[in-house]
Amino acid sequence: MKEGNRALSLYTLLVFIFLLGPLVIISITSFEPGTVLKFPPEGFSLKWYRNIFEVSAFMDTFKTSIIISLLGNLLALLLGVPAAYALSRYRFCGRDTLNAIFLSPVLIPGIVLGFTLLRYLIVVYGLPIYAGLLIGHTVIMLPFIIRVIASSLENFDFAVEEAAQSLGASRIYTFFKIVLPNIRSGILAAILIAFLESFNNVDISVFMTGPGISTLPIQMLTYVQNYFDPTIAAISVILMVLTAALMFVIERLMGFAYFTKR
Amino acid sequence: MNKKALYLLLPGLLFLAAFMLVPITLTIASTFVQDGKLTLEGYLHFFRDGYFNRILLTTLRVSVVTTLVCMLLGYPAAYYISRASARKKSILLALSIFPLLTSPVVRSFSWMIILGKKGLINSFLVNIGLIEKPLDILYTPTAMMIGLIHLFLPLIIITLLGVMENLDHELVRAARSLGASPFAAFRKITFPLTVPGLIIGGILVFVGSLTAYTTPALLGGKERVVSTFLYQNAMTLNDWQAASVIAVIMIVITFVVVGLMNAWANRLNPKG
């Protein structure tokens, strides 16, 4: 038994080295002073971090990414919170089907969704690219918003809401005064998870670029295909720090239970 | 149906109908029409084309290998995490979730540094004198597989962990008290009860690899898979008809795989 345990823990250690090693390596190479990515780096320099701020495309696309993720999040909340509430609160026939429909954007391959949106939203409906980008991101955020909020509504006792209403509070009033405050941490977690999902998205964004419009991941892809200097490594480090910070907040808000549920 | 529920669901449903259902339905419909006539020519043309068949085959091969390796690496690791002390468990869980939330661009890029001609592996092998010329690893299907395994390993670990956490350990203890060796208890109880989780995790990895774009685009070079081929047809060649056909093929494969494997997982575990 002891032998088996030791072998298993060694195996797990190797798995985690495989998982995290590349991220450590990319972080170390970001400090390379030369113009070519190397491991180990030949010295220590922050010049590639400075370069991020000097190449205006990175700053511009970073801004676009943030704005699209936030606006899309807001839209997805406006559409998703009522839907999640209805799906958790009421029992009606076809509920499972509707639930499946709301989660379906994650089932459609992202690249397929991106292409069909380009073909119809932009070309047939004639929407501007920026609007297409926003709508596409809203579509992919919606399932995350609904799933996370519905799972926090599962822990909410709707009897409390009924009690408030029986005491004369209106529907809207009870929703804002009773329901929302009770699932506040779930909503915040949903916002952060959807934000990361949108911010990192490539599959939709890669079709929704035009003159002056692109997102940070797409800009990074383009840059990597043309240059192989440590700038992308430096951006990667900044993104990982951001990810770690958001992950910490998500853990505080609702633990990691959401991730292990399928 | 409840009227109140309907009003709350309607905005979201209309949004998805307009911006997902309609575009996808129209795309599917468009593949069956050519010059105003109903035809299967779009599909026949593709499957007669050796180039496309090769891409499809590469994609399936890469996805199958990725799924199997992820299962092989992920299962023991998830088992170990599920049996670890609470503190260790939460650390390892966090370390699995972190890569999952990290941008696929960042994660694929990290493998470019490792697998490239002047990358970590090649310079190491040349330095110790094992090889004279650097190996071509980057921009091959192997590089794609490595990148995809790295991309989806956390997903399968976390999925399996969810299943293992729900496992009734009383069953294992009962088997042990009746004289089963630890290995026998694992083989007769733990493993069969977690197989449906392994299949569900496998579906996620397989479908994910089949449709991933970023990793093959960065690590595959000129080597194409269906998703990068779809992009190339749509954006570089401007052949939207071809891109639509590929899109439909991808949707069909995805739904068939998910349907079959879900049915399999359900049969093994009727309680779901």
What integer pLDDT is reported at residue A38 of this predicted model?
A: 74
> What's the whole-number mean pLDDT along residues B225-242?
94
Q: How confident is the model at residue B70 (pLDDT cuts 50, 70, 90)?
A: very high
Q: Is B229's pLDDT higher than 60? A: yes
DSSP state of A189: H
Q: How confident is the model at residue B271 (pLDDT cuts 50, 70, 90)?
A: low
Establish if B218 touches chain A: CB-CB under 8 angstroms. yes
What integer pLDDT is reported at residue B76 of this predicted model?
A: 95
Mutate to test the interface with B, among A28, A148, A202 (most CBs of B within 10 A): A202
pTM: 0.93
The two structure tokens encoding residue B12: 């979201």
- For chains A and B, CB pairs below 8 A equal 252
Contact A98 B81 (CB under 8 A): no
> What's the whole-number mean pLDDT along residues B94-123?
92
**What is the C-alpha separation between B144 and B220, in angstroms, rounded?**
6
* Residue among A148, A146, A140, A147 nearest A69 (CA): A140
Residue-wise pLDDT tens digits, B129-163: 888 888 888 999 999 999 999 999 999 999 999 99
- Judged by phi (left if over 0) then psi (alpha if -120 to 50, else beta), residue A19 lies in alpha
Contact B153 A12 (CB under 8 A): no
B39/B28: higher pLDDT: B28
Q: Is A106 exposed, middle or buried (0-12, 13-18, 19+ CB in 10 A)?
A: middle
Contact B113 A22 (CB under 8 A): yes
Q: CA A198, A199, A203, A209 torsion: positive or negative?
A: positive
What integer pLDDT is reported at residue A200 of this predicted model?
A: 96
What integer pLDDT is reported at residue B23 of this predicted model?
A: 95
Contact A232 B109 (CB under 8 A): yes
What integer pLDDT is reported at residue A3 of this predicted model?
A: 61
A49/A16: higher pLDDT: A16
**For residue B38, what are the β-bridge partners?**
B33
Beta strands in chain A, from DSSP E residues, in sequence order = none
Q: How confident is the model at residue B272 (pLDDT cuts 50, 70, 90)?
A: very low
What integer pLDDT is reported at residue B122 of this predicted model?
A: 87
Q: Is A84's pLDDT higher than 70? A: yes
Q: Which range among A83-97, A106-120, A159-173, B169-183 shows the weakest confidence by mean pLDDT?
A: B169-183
Residue-wise pLDDT tens digits, B164-214: 988 877 888 888 888 888 888 888 888 888 998 999 999 999 999 999 999
Q: How many CA atoms lie within 13 A of A172 on its CB side?
A: 0
- Judged by phi (left if over 0) then psi (alpha if -120 to 50, else beta), residue A255 lies in left
Chain B residues near residue A37 by CB distance under 8 angstroms: 113
What lies within 8 Å, CB to CB, of B199 at 6+ separation is B261, B264, B265, B268
The two structure tokens encoding residue A165: 């209403």
Q: Is B126's pLDDT higher than 50? A: yes
- Judged by phi (left if over 0) then psi (alpha if -120 to 50, else beta), residue A94 lies in left
Look up residue A216 and give its amino acid. L
What lies within 8 Å, CB to CB, of A250 at 6+ separation is A189, A192, A193, A256
Q: How many CA atoms lie within 13 A of A5 on its CB side?
A: 6
**What is the C-alpha separation between A13 and A20, in angstroms, rounded?**
10
The residue with tokens 């891409």 is B55
What integer pLDDT is reported at residue B68 of this predicted model?
A: 97
Q: Other CB atoms closer than 10 Å to residue A256's CB: what's the count?
A: 16
Residues B138, B246: contact at Cβ < 8 Å?
Answer: no
Contact A22 B114 (CB under 8 A): yes
> What's the whole-number mean pLDDT along residues A218-233?
90
Mutate to test the interface with A, among B214, B228, B253 (most CBs of A within 10 A): B214
Residue B37 host element (H or E): strand B37-38
What integer pLDDT is reported at residue B256 of this predicted model?
A: 94
Q: Is A155 exposed, middle or buried (0-12, 13-18, 19+ CB in 10 A)?
A: exposed
Contact B12 A121 (CB under 8 A): no
Nearest residue on chain A to B209, alpha-carbon basis = A109
Distances from the Cα of B102 to the Cαs of A196, A207, B98, B114, in angstroms?
Answer: 8, 21, 6, 18
Distance from CA of B162 to the nearest CA of A (A): 5
Helices A184-199, A231-254: inter-axial angle, 10-degree rounding: 160
Contact B11 A82 (CB under 8 A): yes
Q: Which of A123-127, A234-238, B120-124 has the highest mean pLDDT?
A: A234-238
Q: Could you please report the per-residue DSSP string of A213-229?
A: B--HHHHHHHHHHH--S
Q: Is A262's pLDDT higher than 70? A: no
